[in-house]
Amino acid sequence: MKTRTLYDKLIDSHSVKTLDNDGHVLLYVDRHVINEYTSPQAFSGLRQHNRDVWRPSTTLAVVDHVNSTEPNRTDFSESESGARQMKYLAENCDRFGIELFDLLDKRQGIEHVVAPEQGFVLPGMVIAAGDSHTTTYGALGAFGFGIGTSEIEHLLATQTLVYKRLKTMRVTIDGTLGLGVTSKDLVMAVIKKIGASGATGYAVEFAGSTIADLSVESRMTICNMAVEAGARGAFMAPDEKVLAYIQSKPRAPRGSLWSQAVAKWMTLKTDEGAQFDREVHLSAEAVEPMISWGISPDQADIISGFVPSPNTTYGDHQNAAIERALEYMGLEPGTNFEDIEITHAFIGSCTNSRIEDLRQVAAVLAGRKIANGVRGIIVPGSSLVRQQADEEGLVDIFKSAGFEWRQSGCSLCLAMNEDILLPEERCASSTNRNFEGRQGAGARTHLMSPAMVAAAAVSGRLKDVRKLKPK
């Protein structure tokens, strides 16, 4: 029998029919997550054509992108447009019978934090959502990928997508991560190595002993950010850690269904000898804390480095691109990264806002204060994470350090709500994109791990977290 990769197995098992000889199949989608800002026009399309939702119970709606993160928020929205999007989502969920976690639901949060947290994501599933970071779900052995609004409408109406098979890439990471080095540093190192388009057109499987050693939440950070290398799907074979993670979740299968499911899930791995279109290897020992210095996620380097000169080549980036990045970022070539002063420190986003991330932040902030002139903001990934952080006593540490402790949402990762930076403000950020204008027109973003953001916050400048003196 032909050997197959995990990707082949996931796609084969969800192909309703082959549509041509170019690799297009009609792909059945098990679960669908929607938000308030990319779904409105999809529902309007259904209404206009008098179409129904194929299987409403497979879709979960969450408010996350436009909502306020004020600590004392109510369901009143200062923003008229935000209110309109939230209201329309509620109307659509009501009309089409879709479950909604609205703003004041205690399970509300960022869709890619909420869905795994609820056990809505299970190994072997194909999941699509109108958000590029749907790749996150690959950490549970599901195949998640982002789609646009037209495809949301198609999925709601047919439970399927017209899908073209991708090429396959395996990224194998072996070895032990050093102290103070996290999965965020790992994925940033992968993106730097293969480039912002290195995985465009590929589905990426992560493998190796380093991945096996990581917690499930840490793995989510890697699959989440794989899209910044262009991956349209990034996943890992499920293991015992994944089972333990899922078993505690509200929607996990129970009883005999659980054992039946586990038997199936344990077959979800790439066959020995299966061929990938591309193989990439990385040694975990070589990875150090990373920061981005430019306006593309692959414009990143180890914290002990310095701002590059436009006369050097930098991966795919030509001189002009580096020059543009330095101009936008307001950086001089040769500056040590640790001399770059910040105005803001942001912990949040679907990449790094889970409880383990917050514990790492608290470990750095304990007994320390934010530097003068820095505004620190923590936006937990979900309202349940928020509650847990409170129960664990982390919130006291955050507040004593001088951080704002907000309600959940996407917030300053993409600045669609009121959380937005001014031109030339400079933010150490645990998010996923350092694009021009991402956190506000003219605002400057440096991506890094949550622990590194905390280190920057207390230092007033970018800082190797490993160099902070023990408290």
Partner 1 sequence: MLNANIDTDVIMPKQFLKGIDRTGLDKGVFFDQRFRADGQPNPDFVLNQPAYAGAKFLLTGPNFGCGSSREHAVWGLYQLGIRALIGTSFAGIFFDNCMRNGVLIALVDEAQLRQIMTHDTLGKDLKLTIDLPHQEIRIEEKEAIRFEIDQLRKNVLIEGLDPIGSTLQHKDAILNFEKRHLAENPWLA
| Contacts for 172 with CB less than 8 Å, ≥ 6 apart | 206, 207, 208, 279, 280, 281, 282
Of the candidate spans 227-235, 371-379, 401-409, 463-471, the one that interacts with partner 1 by CB under 8 A turns out to be 227-235
Q: Are 380 and 353 in contact (CB under 8 A)?
A: yes
Q: Which of 240, 425, 447, 466 is nearest to 351 (CA)?
A: 447
For residues 418 and 249, give the distance between their C-alpha atoms in angstroms, rounded to a whole number.
32
Q: Candidates 160-168, 173-181, 205-213, 455-463 — which segment interacts with partner 1 by CB under 8 A?
A: 160-168
**Chosen residue from 102, 111, 153, 356 binding partner 1 by CB under 8 A:** 153
The bridge status of strand 24-28 relative to strand 160-164 is: antiparallel
Query: Which amino acid is present at 235?
Result: F
User: Cα dihedral sign for 107, 111, 113, 114?
Assistant: positive
Task: Enumerate the H helices of 392-433 as residue ranges.
Answer: 394-401
Contacts of partner 1 in 48-77 (CB under 8 A): 49, 51, 54-55, 66
Please identify, using beta-carbon distances, which residue of 25 and 374 lies nearer to partner 1: 25
What phi and psi values does residue 57 have, to the nearest 5 degrees? -70, -10
Sole binder of partner 1 in the list 207, 225, 416, 456 (CB under 8 A): 416
Distance CA 429, CA 450 (A): 8
| Region near partner 1 per CB under 8 A, out of 139-147, 341-349, 394-402, 463-471 | 139-147
Stretch 14-33: interaction string toward partner 1, x if CB under 8 A: x-xx-xx-x-x-x-x-x---
Identify the residue among 232, 269, 368, 444 touching partner 1 (CB under 8 A): 232
CB 224 within 8 A of CB 241: no
Residue numbers 255-284 binding partner 1 by CB under 8 A: 257-258, 260-261, 264
Structure tokens at 83: 């209110």
Binding characters for partner 1, 180-219, by CB under 8 A (x = yes): ----------------xx--xx------------------
| Min separation Cβ 454 and partner 1, Å | 26
CB closer to partner 1, 178 vs 442: 442
Closest approach, Cβ 294 to partner 1, in A, equals: 10
Q: Is the dihedral of CA 6, 8, 9, 11 positive or negative?
A: positive
What is the C-alpha to C-alpha distance for residues 447 and 434, in angstroms, rounded to an integer?
7
HSE of 311, CA atoms in CB hemisphere, 13 A: 3
CB of 410 to partner 1, least distance (A): 11
Closest CB 249 distance from partner 1, rounded Å: 13
Give the nearest distance from C-beta 467 to partner 1 in angstroms: 32
The amino acid that residue 210 corresponds to is: T
Which residue in the set 5, 85, 224, 383 belongs to the binding site for partner 1 (CB under 8 A)?
85
Among 53, 100, 127, 147, binds partner 1 (CB under 8 A): 147
Tell whether residue 438 is a contact of partner 1 (CB under 8 A).
Answer: yes
CB distance 253 to 119 below 8 Å: no
37 near partner 1 (CB under 8 A): yes
Q: What are phi and psi of 317, to 5 degrees?
A: -85, 125
Residue 25: CB minimum distance to partner 1, A: 11
Residue 336 engages partner 1 in binding (rule: CB under 8 A): no
When the beta carbons of 125 and 395 are compared against partner 1, the nearer one is 125
